[in-house]
Amino acid sequence: MKANRDGFFKGESERVDLRFGALLYAIEKRVKRAKDVLQRLEEIGAEEAIIVTKSVDWDVLEGWTDERLIEVGTERKRTEKYSYEVFGGAK
């Protein structure tokens, strides 16, 4: 379809119905994901274009005491871990 685009499609957005399905083609204009855009948005104060997310740093919580974990609504639980090592053998 891509190799024969000009034979199938004439415009910028088109659908060609065939016996067992349809071929679809469209040209879209999208914003290029360029480097340093976040820094430039911050420099000009365009806060509406910046997403700020918060998440738990679970590595920090691993170092907390059990009492402190309970205080924030979680706990340390015991898990069993099984693993194996293979020595030698075919390559």
Q: What confidence category does residue 90 fall into, taking pLDDT thresholds of 50, 70 and 90?
A: low
- The count of structural domains within the chain is 1
**Full domain range(s) for residue 12:** 5-71
Q: Confirm whether 80 is domain-assigned.
A: no
Q: Which residue has the tokens 């920090």?
A: 60
Q: Please give the residue that has the higher pLDDT: either 77 or 13.
A: 77
Q: Confirm whether 85 is domain-assigned.
A: no
Lowest mean pLDDT among 3-17, 18-32, 49-63, 68-82: 3-17
C-alpha to C-alpha distance for 46 and 55, rounded to whole angstroms: 23
Residues 63 and 76 sit within 8 Å (Cβ to Cβ):
no
C-alpha to C-alpha distance for 20 and 32, rounded to whole angstroms: 36
Q: Confirm whether 41 is domain-assigned.
A: yes
- Tell me the Ramachandran region of residue 47: left when phi exceeds 0, alpha when psi lies from -120 to 50, beta otherwise: alpha
Chain mean position to CA 40: 22
C-alpha to C-alpha distance for 34 and 91, rounded to whole angstroms: 44
pLDDT in tens, 60-88: 999 999 999 999 999 999 999 989 888 87
Given this model, what pLDDT does residue 11 score? 78
For range 23-35, the mean pLDDT: 91
Sign of CA dihedral 23, 29, 30, 33: positive
